[in-house]
Amino acid sequence: MYTDTIAAIATFLGNSGINIIRISGDDALSIAEKIFVKKIKKLSDSNRSETCDVYNEDSNQHINLKPRYLHYGYIVDKNQRVIDEVLLSYMKGPHTYTREDIIEINCHGGIISAKKILETVLEHGCRTAERGEFTKRAFLNGRIDLAQAEAVIDIINSKTDSSHEISVNHLEGRLSKQINEIIDEIMDILANIEVNIDFPEYDEDEVTVNKVRELSENIIKELERLIKTADTGKIFKEGIKTVILGKPNVGKSSLMNFLLNENRAIVTEVPGTTRDTIEEYVNIKGVPLRIIDTAGIRETEDKVEKIGVEKALQKVNEADLIIMLFDSSRELEEEDKKILDYIKNKRVIYIKNKTDLETKLDLSEHEIIEKEAINISVVKNQGLETIIDKISKMFFEGTINVSDELIINNVRHKDLLIKAKKSLEEVLYSVNSGMTVDFIEIDLKQAMDCLGLIVGKSVSDDLMDKIFNEFCIGK
């Protein structure tokens, strides 16, 4: 499909042990042969020219780059200057990631070597790859479908072992297999409908309609099962957006530091130390929490702190979970009551901190909160594991085995499954209303098209651009 050759740095461009420059396309091998030398010989000072430090002893011979072997040598620029000592591999299409010829150059880590090698590659007739273009070529060349392509970026962005495993299952084709099986079932019944429309004399409408009813009911159940997993999949993929809330100096930043197991937030005895929101990911029993430490909620004339309070309240509206902290060594104050009123419709874990001090907090007028509140002392490291257990139980009933259960973790897939389900419900309505098969055919095709978009059987350029623009360059 593609006639041009692309190249990009496929690894992190910074201080690292190794960098990899990837080339894909028809000209990949010829470019490698122009810039890669297996042997070099330094010239004496008297013979050295101003533009040449080294030369290739085999420069007039064909360099035999055997496929799927690592070749040791050097990359040289157009003036035959050595850029770096490298290991080069050549993979012959179609048995490659993109189904095209691929060259991968392993050079030393760092910014300069990788950039110089890429510049040299580009000087020999290829262009810089766009975001996700290697994976896009793998999709367009038929090596993977669209759901598998999306799983690649999900693997890269995984925050926990569970989210990684879900994405690997999708990359291996478990979701695609199930979706394609459903599509095949719909296509079979559509074929029967086409026969009835084209050859009405066979009069098999009743048999076909009964098959449509049975098929639609079964597929709807299967789609509902997949859709139900989407909320769990979203949590594994994006994390539980968790806002730590409370008035100043109740221990919010200390709690965040405990959950992160590092001193990420500044902790002092001075109220109002945290002026802005601080966000970090943490793994809680395999579940990613996107923890947000906020400014203490209180009335203040300090302009900066006031902005921090406004941002904290904004984060509350977006949160999946609120961790509300009370200071058990202080009486219930008006600031506490305002916060409680603000979060009354949210999912909340209530925590009484500083239980190692004399207790002055009285929550008797809030019986449910008093009953549910967890007593902790961040300073004494007491009761903190109870918070982790509470979060786990709150979001997951029982144990989820991501190895055995197919879980949807992509919003696009969820939306398409919902649309397919609605189309099949329209099919059932048409069947039960006694409508003719040509009406039924329209909704069946609509359901099949929605499912086809998940695996990329038909996909617009705009949708492809949107998906692959989420990738990094080099993947």
Domains of the chain by residue range: 6-144, 149-234+408-468, 238-396
| Structure confidence at residue 186 (pLDDT) | 93
Q: Do the domains spanning 149-234+408-468 and 238-396 agree at the CATH topology level? A: no
- Residue bearing tokens 């904290």: 312
11-to-1, 109, 473, 474 alpha-carbon distances in Å: 26, 9, 9, 7
Q: Are 122 and 4 in contact (CB under 8 A)?
A: no
Q: Which helix (H) or strand (E) holds 127?
A: strand 127-128
Q: Over the chain (475 residues), what is each successive 10-residue block's mean pLDDT?
A: 87 88 96 90 49 43 79 92 95 95 95 95 94 94 95 88 89 95 92 72 65 92 94 84 83 80 45 54 76 63 58 76 88 83 85 87 84 86 82 67 80 96 94 83 93 91 88 85
| Structure confidence at residue 6 (pLDDT) | 97
DSSP notation for 310-321: HHHHHHHHH-SE
**Angle value at C-alpha 14, between 9 and 20, nearest 5 degrees:** 30
Q: Which helix (H) or strand (E) holds 338?
A: helix 334-342
SS (H, E, C) 288-311: EEEEEECCCCCCCCCHHHHHHHHH
| Structure confidence at residue 46 (pLDDT) | 44
Peptide bond preceding 67 in cis form (omega within 30 of 0): no
Burial, 79: exposed, middle or buried (Cβ in 10 Å; 0-12, 13-18, 19+)?
exposed
| Structure confidence at residue 61 (pLDDT) | 44
Q: Are 73 and 36 in contact (CB under 8 A)?
A: yes
* Whole-angstrom distance, CA of residue 439 vs CA of residue 435: 7
pTM (predicted TM-score): 0.79
Which superfamily is assigned to 149-234+408-468 in CATH?
Answer: tRNA modification GTPase MnmE domain 2 (1.20.120.430)
As a whole number of Å, the end-to-end CA separation of the chain is: 18
| Structure confidence at residue 51 (pLDDT) | 38
- A 10 A CB-CB count for 388 gives 15
CATH code reported for the domain at 6-144 = 3.30.1360.120
| Structure confidence at residue 113 (pLDDT) | 94
| Structure confidence at residue 41 (pLDDT) | 65
Question: In this structure, are strands 82-91 and 70-76 parallel, antiparallel, or unpaired?
Answer: antiparallel
Burial, 277: exposed, middle or buried (Cβ in 10 Å; 0-12, 13-18, 19+)?
middle
What is the CATH T-level fold of the domain 238-396, as seen in this structure? Rossmann fold (3.40.50)
